[in-house]
Every structure is written in structure tokens, then in C-alpha cells.
Chains A and B, each alone.
Chain A
Amino acid sequence: MKTIRRSRQGQWIEHRSPTEGEQEWLRMCSALYHKLADTAAPGSAENARFDAGDVDIPEFATAEEYDAWCATLPSVEPDIDPRLLEKLKTSIRLSRKVIDGFSYLAEQKGIRSGQTLMKIVLENYLAKSLPPDF
């Protein structure tokens, strides 16, 4: 099937649906990309396995049982960026439309509140934008 779409440069370009062979190739490329980038595609089967208990985690009824299990495991000491330990409150003036927009999207995505989504958006933006050694 052929479709006509406008490119980012404003030109009209023709697309056709990929064949089955091309779709398989695209899936392989996507899987390779996520493997190399150490990420799983959102909603992918790989991510679902990863998040839904890829590791067999034993159940513990009490904290004591859990602590006894931990005592049998190797451990590491965290070296935490001290800025993570300092939690601050800030206020920002936003239009009703922005607030409503975040609330709407949070509901659509099953996230509890617009503010939670704002936190995620802010952190993801920083992760993409800041230098790694910041």
C-alpha cells in the first residue's frame, strides 16, 4: 500500500508499506539497537519480561526473613551523588492549559498525577541534555 506524506522539509514524499521481509529486518534492527543501547523498547515483549519478573525473586513475609536472605548475598556500598540526597521544593507559574495537559496525559498513561509526569519529563530531559559527568 502506498501513502503520501509531507516530510519535515515540507516536501511531499511517497511511502509504501514495508514487505514482510522488510518488517522482519526492521524488527531485527530495532532489537539490535536496544541491545546495544542497553534499553528495551517501551511496551516490547523484551521490556515486559524484564519488568514483570525476569529475575525469580523470592517472597518474604517479614523484614527479618528478607534481611536473613540478604546476609547470604554479596553487597556493594553506594557512592551517592550528594545532590540526590537534598530534596527541595520549588514553585513555578504555569498556565491552566499546561497543568491540564499533564493531568490528561498522566491519566492516559496510567500515571497517578500530572505532577508525577512532570517529574519524569524533567528528569528525562536532563538525562538527555546534561553532560554525563554533570
Chain B
Amino acid sequence: MTIRVSRFEWDEGNLDHLEIAHPNVSLDDLEQIVLSARRYFKVREDSRGNMVYTARRGNLVAYFNIRPGGVVRIFSVREVK
């Protein structure tokens, strides 16, 4: 099964959190996590019914939703060693 990715969505809701929590990670770094992953793993649905996906690139792990039309909204990032 494939899922379309056509653009990224950045808004005050996800950006505020990411900029504060991860000041050393640029938006481009975050987009590259999603763009370079061969597979996205389905974590589970959130309380609003949106599927949460995850992908890793190097030591950065991104959590994101994919909305209708292939709109990726990254809302959380974690670092692993």
C-alpha cells in the first residue's frame, strides 16, 4: 500500500512546539526525514481520528499526520542515539 505525499503544512500549532523544543533542527531537516524514508510506520490514530505515522533519518525521529491530498503535518520530533 502506498500513500501520497504532495506537500508539507507548517502552521503556528506545530511550528511553535517544534521551534521551542528543537531549536537546532531546521524545517528542512524535518522535511528530509519524511522525504528520505522508504516506509512510514503507522503508530495509531489520535483522538481526532487522524493516523499518526513515524519515520527516522539518522538520529531524528518524526511523528506526523498525512491529511487528504497528501499534506504532511509534522507535529513532534524525538532524538535517538
A interface residues, Cβ below 8 angstroms from B: 38, 40, 42-43, 46-47, 49-55, 57, 59-63, 65-67, 70, 73-81, 84-85, 87, 109-112, 116, 119-120, 123-124, 126-127, 132
Query: Which among A55, A77, A120, A127 is the interface contact of B43 at CB below 8 angstroms?
Result: A55
Q: Is the CB of A49 within 8 A of B47?
A: yes
0/1 interface trace, chain B 24-55, chain A, CB 8 Å (1 if under):
00111001001101111111101110101110
Question: Which among A55, A81, A120 is the interface contact of B46 at CB below 8 angstroms?
Answer: A55
For the residues of A in contact with B, the DSSP-based class is: mixed
| A123 lies within 8 A of B10 (CB) | yes
The reply to whether A112 and B19 form a contact with Cβ atoms under 8 Å apart is: yes
Q: Which 6 pairs across A and B sit closest by C-beta, in order of nearness? A: A73-B41, A42-B12, A47-B13, A79-B2, A75-B39, A70-B41
Which residues of B in the span 1-32 have a Cβ within 8 Å of any Cβ on A?
Answer: 1-17, 19-20, 23, 26-28, 31
